[in-house]
Amino acid sequence: MKTYEFKIDPLTNEEYLEVYLRGQQLLNDPLLNKGAAFTYEERKVFGLTGFMRNKNVPIESQSERSYEMLQRKHDDLEKYIFLQGLLNRNETLFYHLLSKHLKELLPIVYTPTVGLACQKMSTIMRRFRGIYITPENIEDIDQIFDGLNQQEISLVVVTDGERILGLGDLGSDGMGIPIGKVNLYVAAGGLNPACCLPVTLDVGTNNKELLNSDAYLGLKKPRLQDAEYDEFIEKFVLGIKRNCPSALLQWEDFAKDKAFKLLDRYQERILSFNDDIQGTGATALSALISAFKLKGTKFADERFVVVGMGQAGAGICYNVRNMLKEEGLSDIEIKKRIFALDVDGLVTYDMPNLEYQMQLFAQNSEDLKDWILDEPGKIGLKDVIRNTKATVLAGVTAQTGMFDDEILTMMANNTERPVIFALSNPTSKSECTPADVYRVTKGKGLFAAGSPFDPIVGEYGTMYTSQSNNMYIFPGVGLGALVSKAHKINFKMFFAASKALSDLVSDEELKNGKLLPDMDNIRSISAHIAIAVAKSARDNGYGRLASDDELERFVYKAQWKSQYYYYRQPRAQH
């Protein structure tokens, strides 16, 4: 049911909302509720007189009061619950508060606190958000969308809850992830919350604790698998295409065996991408571009070792490979520069059960016969660093301290300025710390992590840690793809995003070893990336034909601001 319509007064050019709700219904709608900010005229016109106290309070004051109440919560989970309660009462106020304190509140609304919230979602959820699609209701997907009170859906963030962060299968309790990603799309990218929809595909769970829990609210059946799962996903995607034909679909926190197949199967059929693969890879690529600017080298001059070949590790490898191809290297030459490792060591063609995402980066064992190994028959990380003379080392393993002093020393011996990315979250899972890199490389290392770290100051000067956070990339990519009316997202659009992000690192920041710009200006960063993505979509035949100036204007105009609009009643129909 349509609850409002955006209008522009033809005489005064004033933007306003024509609102179809009144009284308690209006106060109970989180998209339209203004709380004490309703003007006295609006209170009278919309039947709100007597439903609130007398004083009119502007959004800035409401935000300050909400922040003060938030500060009274001394537990991060309680802060999360408070913020979700605010979101469920007044979305505009929630985003005003979040945007104003984004750097501080990011760890609350998303990682790491959202992981704990997902683990307890069935007990802390006060109001359902988004939609839940199950095998029992998939045939009713059109009616489900008909029941939404949102005018037009531009973004769908979907998970099936099987690989929530590093926590595994949380079933439908994983809904906290799509909700959190929507929060970031709005706060960082500027998408209108009225056009964003979080979705959970509740296809069951193999988590025995959830199956045996009286509190768990999801489907208590083993997960759909194989052909049944594929058929379910197909029905879901077709439902999205019917009901939201212009929407962007973002796949989020699927198990890796499904994630790569879904991306391959649907990226040509529907505007979609996987942030765990493509967003992670694009953010890391941007940091690498900056690192090599500082070093004065090309990608072809470096040797890359990536440890952990899940979605994030594979995403990094794919991005590095594409950059090497852009520099003109052949597949054979690329193979000599990217070395991927997983739990069984270096990925080779003769490994048993070689997974889908590893195949492109597998080495031929015959080419390695002259390598010097610590243990014959097994090629570990130290063997790879030693024999390849690696200059770049990236880890996404969640194995604390994997990059020990010996590993870091070997990297420092291979190049004057080794590039070390310890990307596992949270900080307790980081493969090494900035202090380790600083000490072993004598402050020469270029370091990025998945979590924020304070700068290291010591005898070798100051070393900064760049946080390789996907939030740098995905809001801008999504906004750019939507504004450009793209019908697909390809690697060139992510390339454009990576280069645009690196371009925002100032010469002074680069000189200090910073590989990514300060996140304080994330709205501006997202707009800059969106413009680059929109231009790429246009230039590659995927997006609308418009001039650079027009695309830039479209992007900034599309960025929603967390402010209250004036409300008017619908005009009487004659």
Catalytic residue positions? 110, 181
The residues, any chain, with a CB within 8 Å of residue 62's CB and separated by 6 or more, are: 35, 36, 37, 90, 93, 96
The residues, any chain, with a CB within 8 Å of residue 5's CB and separated by 6 or more, are: 17, 18, 151, 570
Nearest residue to 282 via CA among 324, 318, 325: 318
Q: 302-335 as b/e, with b when 16 or more CB fall inside 10 Å?
A: bbbbbbbbbbbbbbbbbbbbbbbeeeebeeeebb
- Separation between Cα atoms, residue 90 and residue 33, nearest integer Å: 6
Strands (E), 71-195: 131-133, 155-159
Query: CA distances (Å), 127 to each of 78, 173, 194, 512, in order?
Result: 16, 13, 17, 46
The residues, any chain, with a CB within 8 Å of residue 369's CB and separated by 6 or more, are: none
At CA 188, angle to CA 184 and CA 194, rounded to 5?
Answer: 65
Q: Which residues make beta-bridge pairs with 461?
A: 458
- Separation between Cα atoms, residue 385 and residue 373, nearest integer Å: 11
- Separation between Cα atoms, residue 284 and residue 275, nearest integer Å: 12
Q: Which residues make beta-bridge pairs with 393?
A: 305, 420
For residue 235, the SS3 value is: helix
Token digits for 25? Answer: 């219904």
Q: Are strands 15-19 and 4-8 parallel, antiparallel or unpaired?
A: antiparallel
Quickly list DSSP for 358-423: GGGGPBPGGGGTT---SBTTB--HHHHHHHHT-SEEEE-S--TT-S-HHHHHHHHHH-SS-EEEE-
| Cis peptide preceding 570, ω within 30 of 0 | no
For residue 251, the SS3 value is: strand
Estimate the crossing angle of helix 176-184 against helix 102-109, to 10 degrees: 160
Cβ neighbours, 10 Å, residue 128: 10
Residue with tokens 């996987």: 274
- Separation between Cα atoms, residue 29 and residue 525, nearest integer Å: 31
> Does residue 249 contact residue 270 with C-beta atoms inside 8 Å?
yes
Token digits for 215? Answer: 């509190």
Cβ neighbours, 10 Å, residue 510: 15
Q: What are phi and psi of 549, to 5 degrees?
A: -65, -40
